[in-house]
Amino acid sequence: MIEYIIRRVLIMFPTLFVISVIVFTVIQLPPGDFLTTYAINLEQSGEPVAMEVLDALRERYGLDKPMVVQYFKWIGGILLRGDFGQSFGHWRPVKDLIWERLGLTASIALITIVITWMIAVPIGIYSATHQYKLSDYAFTFVGYIGLSIPAFMLALLVMNAAHMKFGLDVGGLFSDEFIDAPWSLARVVDLLQHIWVPVLVLSVGGTAGLIRVMRANLLDQLELPYVETARASGLSETKLLLKYPVRVAINPIVSTIGWMLPQLFSGSVIVAMVLSLQTTGPLLLRALMDQDMHLAGAMIMILSALTVVGTLISDILLAWVDPRIRFERQTS
């Protein structure tokens, strides 16, 4: 198991290097750069454009250098100094912009994943073991409703209901007086009073989908001969269920961590914009629209790293849940 984990970790480093090259290349593909877009916006607003100022800024940030030089300057700053560069759109260091938003996004993501699993797995098991019962039909109906409602529409419905019924403004993650305030117990309490809304909105669709996956996989396993053999050996139904078919049926759900983690960390951009969340989603969208290459590149690299880390976590959990995976690696 340890050898398997070490092998997977070593594969991460060349993977992240290739991803960094692709990310930087893709960001450079649109014509021009941020300063070109900046100059066009100034001209459209009627403000004078000083070309010598733009040339000085282009030289200062290395935008006049070949793309290869820009890449190694960018990736070298990240690896050697933890410096993600300067955000052109905000005129601030990238790390100052993303860390607090990343922490808030991480909180929403982790809480959402835990709640999704805690609800979806037990309901999926219950629904599969009570096939065609009234409760199974009820969970199936609720699951289809959860899958069919777009997350941004659910966010609008929750905000409207909270305002109309209780007179509450549930948008954002903080009240106005705590948005720029330093961290304190009062700010944490205010965050907890707001964070339930994005968690609810983001967990509905994921929970409904995982219920359907868990139910379908477990139904397939319950029909296999090994379940009847284990039942004939005298195992109790609950112990049999949890020891054999559930461990196999949960494999596809465990593997979803690889894409669920970066998807939630991206902040579900549309939901974040509807709820006015101070997460990474709207920040990434604006950076891409403004061609703010250092900010966009840093955030895409973080999401890519989370994808790789999520895949690693999935592989480790799969090897722990299903011994056949470890055995296949050893025999190969």
Q: Please report the pLDDT score of residue 41 as a whole number.
A: 64
Q: Quick check: is 287 in a domain?
A: yes
Q: What is the pLDDT of residues 174-214, one digit of tens each?
A: 777 777 777 788 888 877 877 888 888 888 877 888 888 88
Region of residue 317 (left: phi > 0; alpha: psi -120 to 50; beta: else)? alpha
Q: Quick check: is 62 in a domain?
A: yes
Question: Is residue 278 a contact partner of residue 175, using CB atoms and an 8 Å limit?
Answer: no
Q: What is the pLDDT of residues 237-248, one digit of tens each?
A: 788 887 788 877
Q: Quick check: is 141 in a domain?
A: yes
- Do 121 and 68 belong to one domain? no
Q: Quick check: is 8 in a domain?
A: no
Q: Residue 211 is which amino acid?
A: I
Q: 176: which DSSP letter?
A: G
Q: Which residues of the chain have pLDDT under 70?
A: 1, 30-51, 53-54, 57, 60-64, 88-90, 257-268, 321-332
- Do 199 and 245 belong to one domain? yes
- Do 174 and 202 belong to one domain? yes
Q: Quick check: is 23 in a domain?
A: yes
- Do 70 and 134 belong to one domain? no
Report the C-alpha gap between 74 and 103 in whole angstroms: 23
- Do 199 and 236 belong to one domain? yes
**Domain final position from 93, 119, 138:** 93
Q: Please report the pLDDT score of residue 332 as a whole number.
A: 47
**Domain final position from 70, 93, 116:** 93
- Do 29 and 100 belong to one domain? no
- Do 293 and 255 belong to one domain? yes
The residue range of the domain holding 73 is 15-93
pTM of the model: 0.71
Q: 222: which DSSP letter?
A: H
Q: Quick check: is 59 in a domain?
A: yes
Q: Quick check: is 6 in a domain?
A: no
